[in-house]
């Protein structure tokens, strides 16, 4: 039997009755867009993150695009972000016509606060930090840099639902926190969905209009918006995913601890965790200089893995015009060549975890 990288089916089956009850409730209500289910979910998710407001949108990508737009970030503006991020974060910048300014990540795969200040120019408008793999960035340092230089702070929390830095959750440090509820994420829908959280009533109102054609009152358009709404069936399912978030996090943490304790191979580097940061283990990222060999070795043992991500944004074809070259960000490029993600999901059988550990320990390169 092969060991899957993830099994949405297994996770779904743990809570199938509740997902089906919630979906049916939404289906039978006869109201499918901007209704009670979304309002309930928004209230619950705002409370969960410790923010005053939550605005549901179509997906995580649109949460990022609308967040930057709501803050007035556009052509001529620079946004500082890490060079080892995911393309969607960078698209959140470039879709608004603004320019991404990349900085190297730290040893935790996160935005390195010590790299930020030297990249601030007169054009810098914001810092976009991505809490990679489920671990919170150093928000104490990053927030204070943003404050000192009068920059907006936007958090990409698409992998870090529920991850704490010191005593606050990711998403609650920035002006806006952006979330994806893509099915595989720590809180997932049964389709596409996303949200922005904020403490500012003004920003929340603007986002609410922006997701609905720019209209607060039907057929009255105050700003140019778009259509990016979180539908009622997804909002109903998300209340179930939110309810069981802690259970899922505990399951993944148990697996992560088994990996951290059980994997001993000089060719493999285990992920490091920062002492004041919570980790929700969205992705268990190991590093190996012979990554392709290790991945094939595991596949020979029927173990599926993934790579997050093989090409850093600055080297993507779509960003050729920005003029970056191989060698510009050696740390991010090294991570892209060495990173390998091990299976970790709520519902993963213990014997599968043991098989992964054994196979890695037997890898000789
Ligand atoms: C998944 C993800 C996104 C995009 O979310 P979608 O809902 O798939 O659009 C953005 N940023 C990061 C870091 C992600 O992991």
Q: State the closest ligand 1 atom to the C-alpha of 61, by its place in the atom list counted from 1.
A: 9
Q: What is the mean pLDDT of residues 251-266?
A: 98
pLDDT tens by residue, 95-149: 999 999 999 999 999 999 999 999 999 999 999 999 999 999 999 999 999 999 9
pLDDT tens by residue, 302-349: 999 999 999 999 999 999 999 999 999 999 999 999 999 999 999 999
Rounded percentage of the chain residues whose pLDDT exceeds 70: 100
pTM of the model: 0.98
For ligand 1, mutation pick of 63, 89, 136, 306 (most atoms within 8 Å of CB): 89
Q: With 90 as the cut, is the pLDDT of residue 277 above it?
A: no
Q: With 80 as the cut, is the pLDDT of residue 261 above it?
A: yes
Q: Compute φ and ψ for 287, nearest 5 degrees.
A: -125, 145
CA nearest ligand 1 atom 2, residue:
158
Instruction: Output the pLDDT for position 278.
Output: 86
Q: With 80 as the cut, is the pLDDT of residue 189 above it?
A: yes
Instruction: Output the pLDDT for position 79.
Output: 98
CA of residue 301 to ligand 1 center, whole Å: 30
Q: Is the CB of 298 under 6 A from ligand 1?
A: no
Instruction: Output the pLDDT for position 46.
Output: 98
Q: How confident is the model at residue 44 (pLDDT cuts 50, 70, 90)?
A: very high
Q: How confident is the model at residue 275 (pLDDT cuts 50, 70, 90)?
A: confident
Q: Is the CB of 86 under 6 A from ligand 1?
A: yes
Q: State the closest ligand 1 atom to the C-alpha of 85, by its place in the atom list counted from 1.
A: 13
CA distance 309 to 335: 8
Instruction: Output the pLDDT for position 88.
Output: 98
CA of residue 84 to ligand 1 center, whole Å: 14
Q: What is the mean pLDDT of residues 148-155?
A: 98
Rounded percentage of the chain residues whose pLDDT exceeds 90: 97
CA nearest ligand 1 atom 7, residue:
60
- The mean of the pLDDT values for the chain is 97
Q: Look at the block and give the residue holding tokens 């990053």.
A: 142
Instruction: Output the pLDDT for position 1.
Output: 76
CA nearest ligand 1 atom 6, residue:
60
Q: Is the CB of 82 under 6 A from ligand 1?
A: no
pLDDT tens by residue, 289-311: 999 999 999 999 999 999 999 99
Q: Is the CB of 341 under 6 A from ligand 1?
A: no
For ligand 1, mutation pick of 159, 189, 193, 194 (most atoms within 8 Å of CB): 159
Residue from 278, 251, 247 nearest 345 by CA: 251
Q: What is the mean pLDDT of residues 162-186?
A: 97
* Helices 291-300, 350-361: crossing angle, 10 deg rounding: 130
Q: What is the mean pLDDT of residues 141-170?
A: 97
Q: With 90 as the cut, is the pLDDT of residue 52 above it?
A: yes
Q: With 90 as the cut, is the pLDDT of residue 276 above it?
A: no
Q: State the closest ligand 1 atom to the C-alpha of 181, by its place in the atom list counted from 1.
A: 7
Q: Is the CB of 128 under 6 A from ligand 1?
A: no
């Amino acid at each position: 039997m092969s060991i899957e990288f993830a099994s949405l089916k297994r996770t779904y089956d743990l809570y199938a009755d509740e997902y089906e009850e919630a979906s049916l409730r939404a289906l039978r209500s006869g109201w499918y867009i901007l209704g009670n289910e979304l309002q309930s979910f928004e209230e619950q998710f705002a409370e969960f993150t410790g923010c005053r407001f939550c605005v549901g949108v179509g997906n995580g990508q649109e949460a990022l695009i609308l967040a930057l737009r709501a803050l007035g970030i556009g052509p001529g503006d620079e946004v500082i972000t890490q060079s080892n991020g995911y393309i969607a974060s960078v698209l959140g910048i470039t879709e608004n016509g603004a320019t991404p300014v990349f900085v190297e990540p730290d040893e935790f795969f996160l935005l390195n606060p010590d790299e930020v200040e030297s990249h601030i120019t007169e054009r810098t408008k914001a810092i976009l930090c991505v809490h990679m793999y489920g671990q919170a960035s150093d928000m104490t340092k990053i927030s204070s840099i943003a404050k000192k230089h009068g920059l907006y702070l936007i958090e990409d929390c698409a992998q870090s639902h529920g991850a704490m830095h010191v005593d606050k959750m990711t998403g609650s440090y920035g002006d806006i926190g952006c979330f994806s509820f893509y099915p595989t994420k720590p809180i997932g829908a049964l389709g596409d969905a996303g949200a922005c959280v904020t403490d500012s009533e003004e920003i929340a109102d603007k986002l609410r209009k922006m997701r609905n054609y720019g209209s607060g009152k039907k057929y009255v358009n105050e700003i140019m918006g778009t259509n990016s709404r979180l539908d009622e069936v997804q909002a109903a399912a998300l209340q179930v995913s939110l309810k069981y978030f802690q259970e899922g996090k505990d399951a993944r943490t148990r697996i992560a601890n088994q990996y951290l304790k059980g994997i001993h191979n000089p060719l493999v580097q285990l992920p490091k965790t920062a002492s004041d940061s919570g980790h929700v283990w969205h992705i268990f990222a190991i590093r190996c200089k012979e990554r392709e060999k290790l991945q094939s070795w595991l596949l020979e043992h029927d173990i599926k893995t993934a790579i997050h991500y093989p090409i850093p944004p600055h080297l993507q074809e779509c960003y050729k015009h920005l003029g970056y070259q191989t060698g510009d960000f050696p740390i991010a490029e090294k991570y892209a060549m060495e990173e390998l993600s091990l299976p970790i999901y709520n519902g993963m059988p213990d014997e599968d975890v043991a098989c992964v550990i054994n196979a890695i320990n037997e890898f000789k390169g």
